Amino acid sequence: MPNVTRMPEWLNIRSGELRPLLLAMGAAFFMMSFMVLTRSLRESLFLATNDIENLPLIMGTVVIFSLPAVGQFSRLISRYGPRRILFFLTVALVFGQTVLWALMPTTSSVNVFYVWTAVGTLLLASGFWMVVAELFPLRGAKRLFSLISAGGTLGAMLTGVSISWLTQYMDLSWLVLLSVGPPVLFLLMVTLLPKPVTSTGSPDSTKEGKALLEAARTTWRSNHLRIMAGIIFTSTLVMTLIDFQFKAFAQNQFSSGRELAGFLGAFYGWAGLVSLLLQVFLSGWLVEKRGVAFSLSLPASLLLTGGVGLLFFPSFAVATSLRGLDYSLRKSLFRPTMEVLFVSVPTRLRRLTKAFIDTIVDSSAEGFGALVILLWLSVLKFPISRLSIMVVVFAAFYFGLSRRINRSYFQTIAGRLQEEESRIPKPGNEDFQGTGNLLEATFTNLDLIELQDQIPEPGAGSANGVSDEVENSSCEAELLVNLNSSDDKVVLRALAGIDTLNPDHLALMTRLMARDQIFRKVAKLLQRFPQQSVPPLVELLLSQKTDFVIRRRIPEILADMGGVEADDALLEVLTDSRFEVRYRTAVALLARRKKGRPISSSDWKLKVWHAVSLEVRKDRPLWELHRLLDSFDVPDDDLISVKVGVRGELSLEHTFRLLSLVLDQEQVRAAYHGVIFDDPELKSFALEYLEMVLPGSVKARLWFYIGDVSEKRIQRQARSMNRVVEDMMISGQTLFGGEMTRQALDHMVARQNPDQSPLKED
């Protein structure tokens, strides 16, 4: 039992996902059971009462009847939502199945049964995945859709194996009646599913009779949907050609319809077992770690290779192996990946176009494949074995389209991210608390005390750093004395009288930068004389000997002045040991980019990525304890417009500000809001966007701070208490004077993280 209880953790199932996942898996189980059962029955009954040459004709008939069915289905889905329409569709399928059973086994009833089940199951699958797409956000879909498909595969496997056993004791017509059971249980599972957590949008106003045309136009206008439709068309076309060759070899291999039905049932069962193993152990990992383009191109490349093999070695064994490969990968990898792609599409567009793509495009591909087969056999008089030439050609198109999907998918994700971010009500800054509070015994407090002691008293002569030349000038001496005054009003009056800037003024004014009431005036004065001010400011910024209280304020001044030299200096201190220097430097660099200030001639983006990499390597306690000496004097920033008071917010702000220097600023801002706001769908798109734009090493570390990682992995990454303390001492975050201070930190971290223990004792 312990292994069973740990199964959700092993499968990366998060809190609140288990119940809807199990219900969705159950619904997929009975849906696929119904689809496999009816497919085996209609193919067996049709081949038993018709010649193989008639198969393309019945497939074309399916396409013809699917056109009005899909148009009506899409219109109703857009107006009433997928759940309600799925209910009525299932009831209609059960009723029609029962009526057709009563009319068996005439040839006409078999043909109607073929078309009825082919169109009905396509609509059923499309409607089910629309329901599931509105149940889970995108990141959940990437993790869980392969498991939901695994439930369907298990149903297909068990049903397929059962068919081979049932055909020994039961006539095929009675199996038709038995097939009404799975859709009834499917409907029960769908009814029990919870309400959607994702936004569903407003009902569509598409008029009756125009839904199909509007779906086609929308699909064509959207690059993402157009490529998706192309992938489905080419993959289904390849599947149709391979399936025809497989059935032709199978018909020659077995003499009776009962034997053929038993073989097909066993085939789908064992192919389902392979698909199930792939879904549990491989598919989810591939989609999550390698991305959608790789997950779609892998089946295409394998089918391309298999088509070449069947061309040179045509046989029942090779055809069966290739069809089994196609079936297994289509269920385990192709289908979940395509459904993830549909989740990225806005709800209104998904409701309008999904049924069209799933059924019309899919059926059209089957119809086109049937036409190719008909021309190949009837007009060109080529042998069936040489049909592999067309398999190779269309598999190559399938592979090419699958490689193009990554770009359109990213564009869709970026668009959805900004769309979802714009609809989220943002809390005001009054909700933010705590970033200005400091821990006791910080280096920054000590620096301020030392600075105050170092400021000379008025009239101290040469001890004030005033040159002999200035001492000989009474006016200049009076100005310098006033600049050294402890009275802020006196200093401000003195600053107002400065018309030129000399080294003595600069020496005093850099000290005055430590005084909160005077800093802004000093900054504006220095910015009036950039040629004189920039070199000494750069020198002070780069020197570790410069007092921290002064040094942390230099980036703000350089944000609005100086050329390449200032930009180089700011880039240099992005990796400084003091967090506040790094934080304010990133703000300054972003301001320079917005104002069009000269940019470093070096590979500055590489330096920013290096700074990001160093930032995310820090341990969680250090990340969460970063503070500013005084946050009120940090300039306004368009990127971080909202503060919510989460632990580690300053570190998170700084990291995303760095990212905005090298990535699209609007998209990074939306991603930041997605991470900090409590909205599952927005966060899902934010994480998906970040996963696609971040280098692997950065993403792997950042994931520990933004939450999309299991607790077990967080605990494995935790370091010892002594190591964390050493990092804090180096960074200047906190002074540790003894065991009592160490114990106090341990207590504070435990209090702030009641649900986890990131620190471990040596």
**CB distance 703 to 709 below 8 Å:** yes
Q: How confident is the model at residue 210 (pLDDT cuts 50, 70, 90)?
A: low
Same domain, 413 and 450: no
Q: Give SS3 for 720.
A: strand
Q: How confident is the model at residue 613 (pLDDT cuts 50, 70, 90)?
A: very high
Among 224-238, 480-494, 624-638, name the one with the lowest average pLDDT. Answer: 624-638
- Measured distance CA(332)–CA(327) in Å, rounded: 9
Phi, psi of 426 (to 5 degrees): -100, 135
Q: Which pLDDT does position 59 carry in this prediction?
A: 75
Instruction: Give the CATH number for residue 226.
Output: 1.20.1250.20
Domain assignment of residue 534, yes or no: yes
Q: Centre a 10 Å sphere on the Cβ of residue 64 and count the other Cβ atoms it contains.
A: 12
Those residues with Cβ within 8 angstroms of residue 669's Cβ, 6 or more apart along the chain or in another chain: 421, 638, 639, 640, 641, 656, 660
Instruction: Tell me: pLDDT of 35 over 70.
Output: yes
Point out the domain boundary residue: 379, 395, 423.
Answer: 423
Domain assignment of residue 760, yes or no: no
Point out the domain boundary residue: 378, 395, 423.
Answer: 423
Domain assignment of residue 433, yes or no: no
Q: Which pLDDT does position 253 carry in this prediction?
A: 77
Give me the mean pLDDT over the 233-246 stretch. 90
Q: Which pLDDT does position 30 carry in this prediction?
A: 93
Q: Which pLDDT does position 86 carry in this prediction?
A: 92
Same domain, 448 and 410: no
- Measured distance CA(650)–CA(644) in Å, rounded: 11
Point out the domain boundary residue: 395, 423, 451.
Answer: 423
Among 33-47, 216-230, 586-600, name the one with the lowest average pLDDT. Answer: 33-47
Tell me the pLDDT tens digit for each residue of 36-84.
888 878 877 777 777 766 777 887 788 788 888 888 888 888 888 899 9
* Cα dihedral 13, 412, 222, 288 sign: negative
Tell me the pLDDT tens digit for each residue of 499-538.
777 777 777 777 888 787 888 888 888 888 888 888 989 9
Instruction: For the chain, give the percent of residues with pLDDT over 70.
Output: 77
Tell me the pLDDT tens digit for each residue of 490-500.
878 877 777 77
Q: What is the largest CA-CA distance in the chain?
A: 121
Instruction: Tell me: pLDDT of 183 over 60.
Output: yes
Same domain, 562 and 630: yes
What is this structure's pTM? 0.74
Segments in 6-17 forming alpha helices (H): 7-10
Q: How confident is the model at residue 460 (pLDDT cuts 50, 70, 90)?
A: very low
Same domain, 173 and 72: yes
Q: Which pLDDT does position 757 carry in this prediction?
A: 42
Q: Give SS3 for 49.
A: helix
Same domain, 599 and 569: yes
Give me the mean pLDDT over the 377-386 stretch. 81
Q: Which pLDDT does position 627 carry in this prediction?
A: 74
- Measured distance CA(302)–CA(291) in Å, rounded: 18
Token pair for 746: 């341990």
Q: Which pLDDT does position 131 carry in this prediction?
A: 92
Same domain, 361 and 474: no
Cis peptide before 8 (omega within 30 of 0): no
Domain assignment of residue 758, yes or no: no
Give me the mean pLDDT over the 474-478 stretch. 68
Q: Which pLDDT does position 639 carry in this prediction?
A: 67
The total number of structural domains that make up the chain:
2
The whole domain housing 218 covers 16-194+212-423
Give me the mean pLDDT over the 233-260 stretch. 82
Those residues with Cβ within 8 angstroms of residue 259's Cβ, 6 or more apart along the chain or in another chain: none
Domain assignment of residue 434, yes or no: no
Q: Which pLDDT does position 396 carry in this prediction?
A: 93
Domain assignment of residue 429, yes or no: no
Instruction: Tell me: pLDDT of 270 over 60.
Output: yes
Which of the given ranges, 198-207, 389-398, 464-473, has the highest pLDDT on average? 389-398
**CB distance 332 to 200 below 8 Å:** no
Which of the given ranges, 393-402, 464-473, 493-502, 743-752, has the highest pLDDT on average? 393-402
Q: Which pLDDT does position 177 carry in this prediction?
A: 79
Q: How confident is the model at residue 462 (pLDDT cuts 50, 70, 90)?
A: very low
Higher pLDDT, 430 or 306: 306
- Measured distance CA(514)–CA(509) in Å, rounded: 9
Same domain, 412 and 527: no
Same domain, 448 and 530: yes
Same domain, 334 and 479: no
Same domain, 453 and 419: no
Domain assignment of residue 7, yes or no: no
Same domain, 627 and 714: yes
Token pair for 737: 């004077």
- Measured distance CA(625)–CA(749) in Å, rounded: 9
Same domain, 417 and 471: no
- Measured distance CA(594)–CA(601) in Å, rounded: 17
Closest CA to 373 of 46, 43, 54, 56: 56
Closest CA to 369 of 462, 251, 236, 566: 236
Domain assignment of residue 339, yes or no: yes
